[in-house]
Amino acid sequence: MNFSKLLRKNIKPSPGCTEVVSIGLASSLAYHAITGYIPSWLSSKRKRSTSSLNFSKISKIIIEVDRNVYKNSFAVGIPGGDGYGIELAAALGTQCNPECKSGEELKIFQRMENKGKEIAKSIINKRKIAIKVVDTWTGVSDISITVRVKSGKKYGIAKIKHYHDNVTFLRNNKEKLYEKAKNLSKEQDSDIEKLSTMTIEEMIKGVEKLSKDDKKFLLESIEKNKKAHQVGIKKRLGLGIGITLKELINDGVLADDVTNNAKVKAGAAVDARMSGYNIPIMICAGSGNQGIVVSNSLLAVHEKYKKGEDKLAKAFALSHLVTLYASKHIGWLSALCGAPTKAGIGATAGITYYLGGISEEINRAINHTAANSTGIICDGAKVGCAEKIITSVEVAIQSALFALRGLDVPKNNGIIAERAEDTIKNIGLVSKGMIPTDKTIVEIIKSKK
C-alpha cells in the first residue's frame, strides 16, 4: 500500500462545503461544455474551444443529486457567494472558469467571473433552476451529481460520481466530450478497498515509514486548518460556537483545558466554513468538517503535550487513514453524522497514538468513541454543524484519555466488538439500516422550501 499517495490524494483544499462546491464544479463544466470546452486537467488531448458564451441565453439548469448531497447542500453557505444552497451553487458555477491546476478543482468558486454573483442571482430570480433528488434509497448512499445546462436547443451535461471531484461524464448536444474509463474510475476505489481490509496495526506501521516530505505536507495541512479557526474567532462567523466557547473560557465559566481549547479550534473553523467564508480547508474523506475534526483536535493536544512535530505528523496521518477506513465501511455520506462516527474515530486513534498509545490502546479508544456518539444523525450541512463538531472533538479526546488509563468497553455492549475494525463495520451495518431515517430527514428539509 502506497500510504503517501493515498494521503495526498485525499488531503486536499476545498473552500466551503464539498457538496455545494461539487455542484458548482459540475455546473461550470456543463455550461462550458455547450461550446465543446474541456479543461486541461480533465483531458490533455482535447482541443479546447474558444467560442464565446452568453450568460443571458441560459434557459434552464437542471440538477439531479443523491439524497445526501441534497441534505448537505440545502442550507450551507457558498464561499464568496453571499448566500447558500443548491440553486445558488449551480447558478454561480456557470460564472466560474473550470480551468485550473490539477488538484485545485474544488476551488471552483475562487475562479468566478466579474459580475458573477449578479448574473447568478438573476438566473435564480427568473426561476430557471430545477432540483431533483434522484436516489435508489437502498444500500450505502453514493455521491451522485448530474447538472444539465440548457441554452435554447443547445445543452451541456456533466456528471460527478463516487467522490466530490471525480468527473465521470461530459457531453453537449452534438457529441460526447469525455467519459472516464472504468479502470480510472476504479483507481481510487482500489486504494480505498485495500485500506478497508487492513488492520490498525498495519496502518500504524505505514505512517511510521512516511518520508520527510510527506510529514512536511501533513504539517502544512494542519496549519491551513488552523487559519480557519483564527478567522472564525476574529470575524465571529457562522453560529459563533467557537468564539462563544472562547469567551466562556476567558470568563472562567469553562475550564481552560485541552478539551475546551480543542472545541474552540474546531468549532470556530467550522463556523467559518459553514458560513460560506472563502477560506480553504484541507479535507478528510471528502469532508472539510471531518478534516477540521482530525486536524484541530490534534493541534490542541499537541499544544498541550508537546510530543514533537514528527509525532504530530504521523498521528495526523493515522487519523486520516482510520477515517478513510471508516468512510469505506460506513459510507462517504449517510444518515449518520460523519464527524463523530468517522472523523471522531479517526481523531481518537491519532490522539491516542500521539500520546504514546499502541494498537491495543487505540483499539480501546475507538470503542469508547463508538459507544459514546454513534447514532448522531446527519441532517445536512449548515452552520449548526459546529454543535456536532465540538461534541465529536470532546468525545475523541476523552476516549483517548480513557483508553490510556486502561478503561475498556465490554464486548457485550451493543455494537462494540473485540476488534475496533469490527466495531467500525458494525457502525456501517447500522448506517445501512437507517435509510428510512435518511428519507424522513430529506422530506423534512424539502418541506422548508
Return the pLDDT at 183: 57
Query: What region does 365 belong to: left with phi over 0, alpha with psi -120 to 50, or beta?
Result: alpha
Q: Is the pLDDT reported for residue 409 higher than 90?
A: yes
Model pTM score:
0.92
Q: Is 357 a residue whose pLDDT tops 60?
A: yes
CATH code, 187-446: 1.10.4100.10
pLDDT tens digit sequence for 182-201: 755 555 568 899 999 999 99
Q: Is 97 exposed, middle or buried (0-12, 13-18, 19+ CB in 10 A)?
A: middle
Cα–Cα distance, 412 to 137 (Å, whole number): 31
| Chain Cα centroid distance, residue 333 | 9
Please determine, for residue 271, whether its predicted confidence score (pLDDT) is greater than 90.
yes
74 and 86 Cβ atoms separated by less than 8 Å: yes
CA distance to 90, 107, 148, 155, 182, per residue, from 25 (Å): 8, 9, 12, 16, 21
C-alpha cell at 92: 454561480
Residue 184 cell numbers, joined: 480510472
Residues with Cβ within 8 Å of 360's Cβ and at least 6 positions away in sequence, in order, are none
Reported as a single tens digit per residue, the pLDDT across 162-171 is 889 999 999 9
Q: Where are the alpha helices (DSSP H) in 236-257?
A: 241-250
Q: How many residues does the chain have?
A: 449
Phi-psi region of 139 (alpha: psi -120 to 50; beta: other; left: phi over 0): left
- Please report, as a single letter, which amino acid is at residue 78: I
- Residue ranges of the chain assigned to CATH 1.10.4100.10: 187-446
Q: Which three cell numbers stand for residue 408?
A: 475498556
